[in-house]
């Protein structure tokens, strides 16, 4: 089984290379969206959760990117622990985790597991990052060779059209899954 996931957060880490155990470095989870597929590409389950802030604020700079204000999260959000419990069971029932920018998303989820006193089972799983694994496929010039493609750039390369509402975890994870299955169909990953 494949578990695709995407996060929206309170911001960015101060140090991108910090370990997941450096809880003060890693931003807090604001939204988690996931899709679980069997090995044949059939969707098994899905979820999209805004997290109710408890002990943290959602800065306006972050809300401007993903559209989830602190007030919206307080009114529409759900308890983080229940989301973590559910997501943890999905991880344990999946062979492969897939994300666009896995190194960020896995640290966000790992730090939330650790903050809540749970075991972080992400490191033990096989992981596929659609961002890093498609750098040479997309061939987008950067300062030092090809740059990592944004999800929208990968989507455009594969399908010749953009998708709307980037930086909404539910929209992004559907685009990631669509790209992954097409990349797999083409034998690229």
Predicted confidence at residue 162, as pLDDT, reads 85
Taking the C-alpha atoms of residue 11 and residue 4, their distance in angstroms, rounded to an integer, is 21
pLDDT digits (tens, 9 = 90+) for 25-83: 999 999 999 999 999 999 999 999 999 999 999 999 999 989 999 999 999 999 999 99
Query: What residue numbers bound the domain in which 73 lies?
Result: 2-185
pTM greater than 0.85 (yes/no) = yes
Name the maximum alpha-carbon separation found in the chain. 45
User: Is the pLDDT assigned to residue 169 strictly greater than 90?
Assistant: no
CATH code, 110: 3.30.420.10
| 114 closest CA partner among 134, 140, 138, 84 | 84
Strands 2-9 and 96-99, by their bridges, are: parallel
Q: Residues 167-183: what's their mean pLDDT?
A: 92
Tokens representing residue 27 in the block: 């931003």
* pLDDT value of position 57: 94
pLDDT at 166 over 80: no
How many independent structural domains does the chain possess? 1
The C-alpha angle with vertex 41 and arms to 36 and 45, in degrees rounded to 5, equals 25
Distance CA 114, CA 106 (A): 12
């Amino acid at each position: 089984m494949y578990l695709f996931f995407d996060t929206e957060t309170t911001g960015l880490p101060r140090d991108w290379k910090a370990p997941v155990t450096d809880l003060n470095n890693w931003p807090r989870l604001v939204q988690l969206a996931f899709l679980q597929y069997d090995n044949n590409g059939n969707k098994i389950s899905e979820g999209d959760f805004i997290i109710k802030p408890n002990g943290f604020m959602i800065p306006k700079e972050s809300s401007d990117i993903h559209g989830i204000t602190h007030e919206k999260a307080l009114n529409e959000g759900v308890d983080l622990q229940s989301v973590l419990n559910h997501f943890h069971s999905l991880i344990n029932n999946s062979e492969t985790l897939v994300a666009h920018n896995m190194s960020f998303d896995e640290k966000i989820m790992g730090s939330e597991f650790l903050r809540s006193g749970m075991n972080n089972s992400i490191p033990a799983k096989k992981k596929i990052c659609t961002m890093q694994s498609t750098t040479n496929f997309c061939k987008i010039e950067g300062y030092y060779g090809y740059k990592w493609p944004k999800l929208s750039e990968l989507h455009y390369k594969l399908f010749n059209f953009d998708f709307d509402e980037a930086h909404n975890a539910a929209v992004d994870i559907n685009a990631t899954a669509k790209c992954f299955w097409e990349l797999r169909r083409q034998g690229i990953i």
